[in-house]
Amino acid sequence: MEVEILEITALYAVLVPGTVTGVALLLFPKRLSPLAIAFGYWAGYYAIQGWPQFPPVESTQWLPWIVVAMALLGLARLSQSQNTWRYWLLALLSLAAAHYLLLLPAFEYSWGLAEGLGWLSVLVAASLLFWAGFTFNSDRARPAAVASVLLIVAGGTAIIVGVSGSVILSQLAAVQASTLGAGLIITLWRGKAILKFSELLHLVLLSGLIVSSWYFVEVPAVSLAILMTVPWLSLRGSRLVPKGWPAWAYMLTVITVSLVAVSMACYMAVISSPPLDVEF
């Protein structure tokens, strides 16, 4: 059963969205990169789940529609600058809306209004702090560094959620990781700053997956806490690399620190996970 799941994930959650995203990024101009990523994500989602209903009947069905909304914001160039209050207000509103939609079952059946608003505020604040680890850095090789860290975190999220018991959320995290992998390859190959217009898309999507896994799957809190600190540890920590060192040394430092931190998060999830013979 586990082998079959891995095969499905590799084929539909990795190969399909990565291929579609890569082709679209090559064909589309840079300013349309959010649309290319949305195409890739929808291709992966459709391969796994089929066409999403609207309005959704399950919380995960909001994810592709959230991707569309964030891609449209990217096309409007609203996320071009990260140094203005408008950007952070947009991030705040986008995260609040996305988290609310993904946690609708909690608001309807578990939380009262005050409790729900309190949790929503905490989760949005944590997501903003997570993204600040990416934005508050004037890094050399910034586009490739940010894409690499996002890819590692998304991949780690897929592993952690999978071993914690949710194949669907794990596959959806793998879909995002696949789109990020395609974006990283294009960034390194063509020098396109793929994240320039799509950073909010990835922020909202990845944060939404992490929040969903926290509530619906009960992923160990320590694993999620480590994931949220990865950009601070890797991108900020890599500033210790002397400026005279080549770009590859900088990238190697970023990737190594990210992999070590995410591996720790995965290990904590594995030792807390159900037995391996559990039926998914």
The string of pLDDT tens digits covering residues 145-204 is 888 888 999 999 988 888 887 788 888 888 989 998 888 888 777 666 666 678 888 888
Tokens at residue 273, please?
């996970």
Residue bearing the bigger pLDDT, 226 or 89: 226
Read off the amino acid at residue 154.
A
Q: Is the pLDDT of residue 259 over 90?
A: yes
Mean pLDDT of the chain: 80
Rounded Cα distance between 112 and 128, Å, is 24
Q: Name the amino acid, one letter, at 121.
A: S
DSSP 20-68: HHHHHHHHS-GGGHHHHHHHHHHHHHHHHH-SPPSS-SSGGGHHHHHHH
pLDDT at 273: 67
pLDDT band with cut points at 50, 70 and 90 for residue 262: very high
- Decide if pLDDT at 272 tops 80: no
**The pLDDT of residue 250:** 79
Alpha-carbon Rg for the chain, nearest whole angstrom, is: 18
Report pLDDT for 5.
53
Rounded (10°) CA dihedral 116, 90, 158, 11: 130
Q: What is the pLDDT of residue 263?
A: 92
pLDDT band with cut points at 50, 70 and 90 for residue 59? confident
Has residue 79 got a pLDDT over 80? no
